Amino acid sequence: MKPLLIGGQWIETAQAVPNVNPSDTKDIIDHYAQGGRAEAQAAVRAAADAAPGWAHSTPQERHDLLARVAADLMARAEEIGTLLSREEGKIRAEGIAEATRAARIFDFFAGEALRAGGELLPSVRPDIEVAITHEPVGPVALITPWNFPIAIPAWKTAPALAFGNPVILKPAELVPGCAWVLAEVLQNAGCPPGVFNLVMGEGSVVGAALLAAPEVKAVSFTGSVPTGQRIAAASVPMNRKVQLEMGGKNPLVVLDDADLERATDVALDGAFFSTGQRCTASSRIIVTEGIHGRFVELLAEKVRGLKVGPALDPASQIGPVVDRTQLDQDLRYIDIARREGGNLRAGGNMVRCATPGYFLAPTLISDTDPAMTINREEVFGPVASVIRVRDYEEALHVANDTPFGLSAGICTTSLKHAQHFRRHAQAGMVFVNLPTAGVDYHVPFGGTKGSSFGPREQGAHARAFYTQVKTSYVFGG
């Protein structure tokens, strides 16, 4: 059994759950301890006990810990990437890239720990100086989804620790493996007891217990909209900081003047890589009428050419869907789209492979309109729809016609339209002639409207969430 990590101790539990490989459901990766309310509370106490010491640790100590973690993650990137692909289903190259990214995130925040400065201003009054400093918030709970099993835990844990906060990580039920390796790496790197705690278990039990604990001063969450709303509702009465990254229904606009080859590659990558299970995936492809026919034809051909197969098979380009529930959801949305009048241009069917897994052919549905269910609700699978529009103005209107606002893209050779879109797309991240998914780790990540709440994640902007500001006035006359 892979145990929990609480207060620097590995803790086994009465119950352990199997981690099943979605590429081969006969393959059980390992069994993972299942924490309950008591374990969540013990982790909160351990974090609270460790908080003063970690808050007063030196920038050098924090830097050195994070740098050791970065080096170990980098050295183990192939092993972690392989585990990631085995438990989540993205292909091995994507798994290794994600593990490498996690290492780079820790490396970046090792540097941020050294740069944790403030500001010194003259007061508007004589002989007074004003100092603005950034102090740790206290114990933070990190609640993460299954689709980026190492990158998301890394991009929350690294800044939390860099800015002096102890962590309780609650990973998604489907992917305990990568979170467990992260705990092991932190432990091996000499993380002080209680500064990093790992509690696997159910969201409704462990997550709820973390939310009920007043010692938890901040919650950073990535996942679905309903869970995010529950977390916000539980946290506001406690004056607790909340950061929510939730769903998307991200548009990719393709204009008549786009480079057809590039636009179809951008759509293919944005919609289907990582099995389309990215919050930033291009799920609505909005195409102007002059290029629509040629674009759909070529994209459908490229989609049909994608090789679906087991995540660890080097020939696979698209791995399985993460589990049965997600697969059923994908198939249900495909069915609804067809019944509402969509035209199936590629996929829609299961793919048979040598091993039993959740293999779904990447699916492209054309002739949809913005009001259809497929264009309103997040599917979270290898499924994209095409909406035909007259011109750029209509494309922009349709792109913004969604409660979400995470990421938006445009393919065009017109500087005028690219610039206009950059300014007017209602999204936290905009991409020009690039897939809507695939971001850098050193710049802010996050959305607008219904997709996100609270300060941005990643890059130097991450400090806003993981610190609180103190303004000090000193008379020195």
Compare residues 28 and 233 and give the one whose CB is closer to ligand NAD.
233
Residue 295 in contact with ligand NAD, rule: CB under 6 A: no
CB of 233 to ligand NAD, least distance (A): 10
Residue 279 in contact with ligand NAD, rule: CB under 6 A: yes
DSSP string, 106-154: HHHHHHHHHT---EEEE-SSTTEEEEEEEEE---EEEE--SSSTTHHHH
**Segment contacting ligand NAD (CB under 6 A): 6-14, 92-100, 176-184, 201-209?**
201-209
Q: 110-149: which residues touch ligand NAD (CB under 6 A)?
A: 143-148
Residues facing 318 on adjacent strands: 308
Residues 420, 321: contact at Cβ < 8 Å?
A: no
Residue in 94, 245, 323, 330 binding ligand NAD, rule: CB under 6 A: 245
For the annotated catalytic residues, the residue numbers are: 245, 279
Residue 333 in contact with ligand NAD, rule: CB under 6 A: no
CB of 322 to ligand NAD, least distance (A): 9
Residue 349 in contact with ligand NAD, rule: CB under 6 A: no
Residues 221, 453: contact at Cβ < 8 Å?
A: no
Residues 471, 465: contact at Cβ < 8 Å?
A: no
Strand order in the sheet with 452-453: 9-11, 4-6, 196-198, 167-170, 140-143, 218-222, 241-245, 452-453
Within 8 A by CB and 6+ apart from 163, the residues are 112, 113, 116, 134, 136, 137, 463, 466, 467
Residue in 66, 96, 110, 172 binding ligand NAD, rule: CB under 6 A: 172
Q: Virtual CA dihedral for 289, 293, 299, 305, nearest 10 degrees? A: 170
Residue 223 in contact with ligand NAD, rule: CB under 6 A: yes
Compare residues 42 and 231 and give the one whose CB is closer to ligand NAD.
231
Residues 316, 309: contact at Cβ < 8 Å?
A: yes
Residue 232 in contact with ligand NAD, rule: CB under 6 A: no
Count residues near ligand NAD (CB under 6 A). 29
Compare residues 36 and 203 and give the one whose CB is closer to ligand NAD.
203
> Which tokens in the block code for residue 283?
């799920």
- Strands 4-6, 9-11: pairing is antiparallel
Residue 207 in contact with ligand NAD, rule: CB under 6 A: yes
Site string for ligand NAD, 359-378 (x = CB under 6 A): -------------------x
Q: Which of 295, 293, 282, 375 is nearest to 337 (CA)?
A: 375
Residue 429 in contact with ligand NAD, rule: CB under 6 A: no
Q: Which of 281, 249, 28 is nearest to 147 (CA)?
A: 281
Residue 428 in contact with ligand NAD, rule: CB under 6 A: no
Residue 173 in contact with ligand NAD, rule: CB under 6 A: yes
Residue 330 in contact with ligand NAD, rule: CB under 6 A: no
Residue 105 in contact with ligand NAD, rule: CB under 6 A: no
Q: What residues line the site for ligand NAD (CB under 6 A)?
A: 143-148, 170, 172-173, 203-204, 207-208, 211, 222-224, 227, 230-231, 245-248, 279, 378, 380, 406, 451
